[in-house]
Structures are given as structure tokens and as C-alpha cells.
């Protein structure tokens, strides 16, 4: 098939981004969809609207999908977003600008004509009102090569519309938070099994954001293991240089072992069901005793007077007997 042009989509896998693709496809435009991943997103197989696996929709409707990881570039933005955070640690505006910067480079490499997104005017209070959408358009360097098909008729004409590559009358005029029109379009296009609206981004989660703020405040050089550990377990900060992380179940214990660093000590209660515990930071006798006591507290021996706990680092290991830590103290150091 000969296409009239080539558009690059920002594709989360959610309903809005999928509909944007379908609106562009119906104008005989080739579409390459880019799904951007970060260390703060959900799993690619998750059913939220963030980072759902794009393969099924791409195969069904006949467009190409690629997955790209933003890596350190996104971490730098999370540390210091020029346009600030949302309600928690979510730098939504700078996140969008970064993705569009990356998409712009891809567009130029492959010789595509424009970039489009599934944004809806007025849907998100921080990043999708007219002023911020214009800001993103400007700071991404895309200008009028950025198309928002779901709200296209409510926005200024774009370059592909002016050139006749896109028919403005075939774009939508959706605004606000209602999804009535989107669901009508989904039925029209035969789009099924789309996720319910949800951020999927861990940076919008209150608990995760609290842990991330703590990590940024106490750790100069953050690695990906640190970020992955924020997603699991119970976290405690007994002092500025020390953190203790306790697995909640067997699945989290397995993940803890994947993310443990060379400088960490691992704790496990003996002869009872036990979490795995990581001690990061100062390996003082006091902190070792505390980590052991916390391990005992969350083990199946938590009602016993004393629990035997083994702690190890590489090939070195020792066993101590401790009383399970009191909840009153834990509440003071819990992150």
C-alpha cells in the first residue's frame, strides 16, 4: 500500500493513544508508534493505561510499534524537573517534553512528517490545559508538527493539516474528562480489551513518592537497584546513612535477592517463616542488631520472646539471637 505520509505516535497502549493512532491510520498515513519505558512505569504486561504491551493492538490494526527506554535521561528529570512536579513526584510536563524530544530525533532519522499523541484538551489538570499543551509544543521543538488528533479541531491547525496531508475534518473535538466519545470511537473502530484509565506511573503514587524523596535526600549516586527496591518491601530509615528493607512475602524475597548490592547485608530468621531483610549503609553493631530485630518482628516468630537470625555478606555469615522489634519504635523510623 502506498501511504500519503508518515506519522510517529507516542503510544502508551491506553485508549486515548490507541484511538489517536486509528484516527491517523484512517487517513492513509503510515504510523510508527513509540512506547517509552522508564524505571518508574508499570510492567509492560500490566493492564493499566501506562506502558501496556503495544504488540497486540499494532498487529490487529497494522501499524509498527517500537519500545524505547528513557534510562538516565528520565532519572535526571525526576531529580530536577524544570517545570516542577504534579501532586507527588510526577514531572508530567518535562516527561512529555523529553518523550517528544526523543520522538523528534526518531522522526528526523526515518524521515517522517509529524508526531502525534493521544492527549485530550482539559483531561489532565497539570499537563493538558491549553497553556501547558502550547508550552510542550514549543519546548519540544516540534511546533506545528505536533498533532493531537482527539482534540485537533479545538486546537490551532498544524503543519500536516495546512499542507493537506491531514484532513482537519476527520480529527476529533474532544475535551474534558468524559470518555463517552472515546468509547463511541472504540466501538466504531472495533477496538476492544483496552485498559481502564489509570496513570500506571509510580511517581503519582503517594507511598512510592515518599520513598523516592527519602532516597534522593540520602543517596548521592542512585543506581537502578535502588529504584527497583523502592517498589517492594517495608522501608525503614534509622539514621541518615542507613536504610533497612524487609520483604513482605516470598515473591518480594526473590526480588530482594535480585537487587541486592555488594555492600548490603542480608538477614533471615532461622527455623520459622521469615522475610529477607537488607541492611544498607552503616554496618554498625547497633544497626545489625536493629535489622535482625526487625527481621524477627516480621517473621513467623514475631510472638516469641527471642528469635535466631542469620545475617550474611558474601561468604561471611553470623547468627545472633534477638527479641522482635516493637511496633511503636518501627512507626518512628518507617519511611
| DSSP secondary structure of 150-190 | GGGGGSPPPHHHHTTSS-GGGS---BSS--HHHHHHHHHHT
State the cell numbers at 97.
517534553
Of 41, 42, 43, 23, nearest to 31 (Cα)?
23
pLDDT at 220: 87
Q: Which of 150, 195, 149, 156 is nearest to 175 (CA)?
A: 150
CA dihedral 278, 283, 285, 289 (to 10 degrees): -10
Q: Is the dihedral of CA 208, 213, 214, 218 positive or negative?
A: positive
Per-residue pLDDT of 277-323, as tens digits, reads 999 988 899 999 999 999 999 999 999 999 999 999 888 899 999 99
User: Using one digit for the tens of pLDDT, what is the confidence trace for 69-127?
Assistant: 998 999 999 999 999 998 899 998 999 999 999 999 999 999 999 999 999 998 876 56
How many Å apart are CA 178 and CA 69, to the nearest integer? 31
Query: For cell 504488540, what's the residue?
Result: 55
Q: What is the mean pLDDT of the chain?
A: 92
Which ranges of the chain does DSSP label H, i.e. alpha helix?
Answer: 15-25, 55-61, 71-79, 92-110, 130-139, 159-162, 180-189, 206-218, 224-229, 250-259, 285-297, 327-333
pLDDT for residue 2? 87
Residue listed under C-alpha cell 530525533: 105
Evaluate if residue 145 carries a pLDDT over 90.
yes
Specify the pLDDT at position 45: 45
pLDDT digit string, tens, across residues 23-55: 999 999 999 999 999 888 654 444 444 556 788
pLDDT value of position 129: 80
Domains and CATH numbers, the chain: 5-189 (3.40.50.620), 205-333 (no CATH)
Give the helix/strand (H/E) hosting 70: none
Amino acid at each position: 500500500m502506498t501511504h500519503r505520509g508518515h506519522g510517529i505516535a507516542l503510544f502508551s497502549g491506553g485508549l486515548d493513544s490507541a484511538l489517536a493512532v486509528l484516527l491517523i491510520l484512517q487517513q492513509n498515513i503510515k504510523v510508527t508508534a513509540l512506547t517509552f519505558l522508564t524505571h518508574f512505569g508499570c510492567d509492560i504486561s500490566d493492564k493499566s493505561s501506562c506502558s501496556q504491551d503495544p504488540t497486540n493492538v499494532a498487529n490487529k490494526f497494522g501499524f509498527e510499534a517500537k519500545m524505547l527506554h528513557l534510562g538516565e535521561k528520565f532519572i535526571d528529570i525526576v531529580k530536577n524537573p524544570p517545570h516542577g512536579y504534579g501532586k507527588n513526584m510526577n514531572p508530567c510536563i518535562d516527561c512529555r517534553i523529553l518523550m517528544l524530544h526523543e520522538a523528534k530525533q526518531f522522526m528526523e532519522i526515518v524521515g517522517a512528517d509529524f508526531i502525534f499523541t493521544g492527549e485530550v484538551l482539559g483531561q489532565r489538570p497539570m499537563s493538558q490545559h491549553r497553556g501547558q499543551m502550547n508550552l510542550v509544543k514549543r519546548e519540544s521543538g516540534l511546533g506545528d508538527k505536533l498533532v493531537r488528533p482527539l482534540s485537533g479541531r479545538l486546537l490551532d491547525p498544524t503543519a500536516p493539516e495546512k499542507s493537506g496531508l491531514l484532513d482537519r475534518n476527520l480529527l476529533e473535538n474532544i475535551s474534558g474528562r468524559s470518555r463517552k466519545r472515546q468509547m463511541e470511537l472504540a466501538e466504531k473502530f472495533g477496538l476492544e480489551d483496552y485498559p481502564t484509565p489509570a496513570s500506571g506511573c509510580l511517581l503519582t503514587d503517594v507511598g512510592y513518592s515518599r520513598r523516592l524523596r527519602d532516597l534522593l535526600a540520602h543517596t548521592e549516586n542512585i543506581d537502578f537497584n535502588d529504584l527497583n527496591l523502592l517498589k517492594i518491601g517495608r522501608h525503614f530509615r534509622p539514621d541518615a546513612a542507613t536504610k533497612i528493607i524487609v520483604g513482605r512475602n516470598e515473591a518480594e524475597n526473590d526480588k530482594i535477592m535480585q537487587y541486592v548490592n555488594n555492600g548490603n547485608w542480608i538477614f533471615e530468621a532461622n527455623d520459622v517463616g521469615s522475610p529477607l531483610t537488607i541492611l544498607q549503609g552503616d554496618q554498625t553493631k547497633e544497626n545489625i542488631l536493629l535489622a535482625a530485630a526487625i527481621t524477627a518482628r516480621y517473621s513467623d516468630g514475631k510472638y516469641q520472646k527471642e528469635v535466631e537470625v542469620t545475617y550474611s555478606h558474601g561468604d561471611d555469615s553470623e547468627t545472633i539471637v534477638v527479641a522482635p522489634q516493637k511496633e511503636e519504635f518501627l512507626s518512628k523510623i518507617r519511611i
